[in-house]
Amino acid sequence: MKQVQFISVTPEQLQTAIIDGVKTQLESLKLHFQLKQPKTYLSRSEVSKMLNVSFVTLNKWNKTGKLKAVGIGGRVLYRQEDIDNSIVEL
């Protein structure tokens, strides 16, 4: 194990240097930290009402790749994130 000796550094200066280093690291972490949101899944009925389209249109969008559907146990679901990403500005 290596040893480090501090020459001409008071305990207060060392403490200040450590605190400043920790503050800098925390500020950097705050800038890059993103809170994870749980994934929200919507049924075909909910998406149909939200977008004001029919089930047939949802099925066409699914087949053409405009909107990606996922499923479990025979249920068709859509991720809220996928819906938001599919809507484009004109």
| Amino acid 80: pLDDT | 92
Higher pLDDT, 6 or 14: 14
**Domain map (residue ranges) of the chain:** 41-86
22-64 per-position pLDDT tens digit: 999 999 888 887 777 788 999 999 999 999 999 999 999 999 9
Q: How far is CA 5 from CA 11, 15, 21, in A?
A: 12, 15, 19
Which of helix, strand or coil describes residue 56? Answer: helix
Please state, in angstroms and rounded to a whole number, the distance separating the CA atoms of residues 20 and 12.
Answer: 12
CATH architecture group of domain 41-86: Alpha-Beta Complex (3.90)
The answer to whether 77 and 41 have CB atoms below 8 angstroms apart is yes
| Amino acid 23: pLDDT | 94
